[in-house]
Chain A
């Protein structure tokens, strides 16, 4: 489904301790349209690489159609999304196995 393969420049181990700097990495979000028999990409404990949580939240919390449900979070407004994501930062960082929150002060905010 993905025409782009991570460009594996086999050599050059890019000295960093982490984060091999491939120019393009590809994360599957959906099985291809034809792949109806395929196992779910999300929520399955099975082998398939699940969608990264941060990407998923970026879409389900900030994307999608906002309709005023009768019961509604004020999630419709961006504030709560931001707040939720902010409060989740440390846990997400841990969950992703990335650098722990606070490892690098975010001087840009």
Chain B
């Protein structure tokens, strides 16, 4: 109401009842409300522009504690709406000056929102991430912590049993012909590097196969940017970060397929997350929203363009 407040938008749905959020705090600990217009509803919270205005938002985005609390509150509200029916999640930090602005949005884009809601009805997003199944070889000198095993020839190569081709052979600490510690080290390092490369190649082709297998069960897919080891907190390389929109009727089939495919490609380790609200597939005016006709034919519906655009960037 006052000029120093804004309206944070969580999600759009066909209908939203405020009692769903009894006892639920939205962002900034504030209550969640519904704005209705044009046969649609948005879940919103009034927020202070001193905290959620453009400039303060920019600052807060760099504050992990703030970002986490806000992201979890945002997600939680979307989750609650999702329990009651199809939901279109808004990206974090969609803020209007007033409820009226939100109502206007609903009215202006009524047709698009309605189409998307229809499209995502009874469908769920699943996330599948794949990692190279082993820790990459340490590029540095022989690991101080891990030099005990003479026959292991370095950390790479032995873990997965991905295939018989493991080049991290039996060379031993001082392989045949080695003349000195320096030469032996260089040899080990070369082998470790090529083992790492082969392992990565195996992981990438495994990830491709897993993705292809899962895409057949999905009505749409989106390859998301790969996350680096620092972000994932995992030493192993991420080789697939896919989102899959799956008919609810096929959820079991999808998760079972994820498991089956994973066991077929031991060079990778798979993480399945979900079910998610359709964060990756609710785009109103973007290509990711495969049109409904195409959706009839599953294979055609798989969004190859998006897949290509997002890029696998396997090597680099």
Contact = CB atoms under 8 A, between A and B. Distances in A.
Interface stretch (B176-184, B263-271, B293-301): B263-271
A26 interface: yes
Interface centre among A1, A58, A61, A96 (most CB of B within 10 A): A58
Interface string A29-57: 11111011000111100000011111111
Main secondary structure of the interface of B (DSSP, over half): mixed
Contacts of A56: 71-72, 75
A57 to B, nearest CB: 6
Contacts of B52: 71
B282 to A, nearest CB: 5
B74 interface: yes
Interface string B70-108: 011111100110111000111111111100010001000
Nearest to B241: A58
Contacts, number: 254
A36 B83 contact: yes
B233 A96 contact: yes
Given A19-B234, A60-B71, A71 B53 contact: yes
A79 interface: no
A106 B54 CA distance: 33
A88 B82 CA distance: 28
B127 A55 contact: yes
Nearest to A90: B230
Given A19-B135, A103-B235, A30 B275 contact: yes
B54 A73 contact: yes
A70 B136 contact: no
A59 B159 contact: no
B273 A104 contact: no
B249 to A, nearest CB: 12
A10 interface: no
A71 B49 CA distance: 9
Given A30-B277, A59-B280, A43 B271 contact: no
B10 to A, nearest CB: 9
A76 B285 CA distance: 13
A40 B233 contact: no
Contact of A93 (B105, B134, B233, B241): B233
A76 B284 CA distance: 14
B196 to A, nearest CB: 10
A49 B298 CA distance: 33
A104 B73 contact: no
B75 A73 contact: no
B61 A21 contact: no
Contact of B105 (A43, A57, A67, A84): A67
Given A23-B262, A57-B71, A64-B282, A88 B91 contact: no
Going nearest first, the 9 A-B pairs with the smallest beta carbon separation are A98-B233, A63-B279, A64-B91, A96-B233, A23-B262, A59-B279, A43-B72, A71-B95, A4-B255
Interface of B: 6, 9, 12, 24, 49, 52-54, 57-58, 61-62, 64, 67-69, 71-76, 79-80, 82-84, 88-97, 101, 105, 109, 116, 124, 127, 133-136, 139, 159-160, 224-225, 227-237, 241, 243, 248, 251-252, 255-256, 258-259, 262-263, 266, 268-277, 279-280, 282-284, 315-316
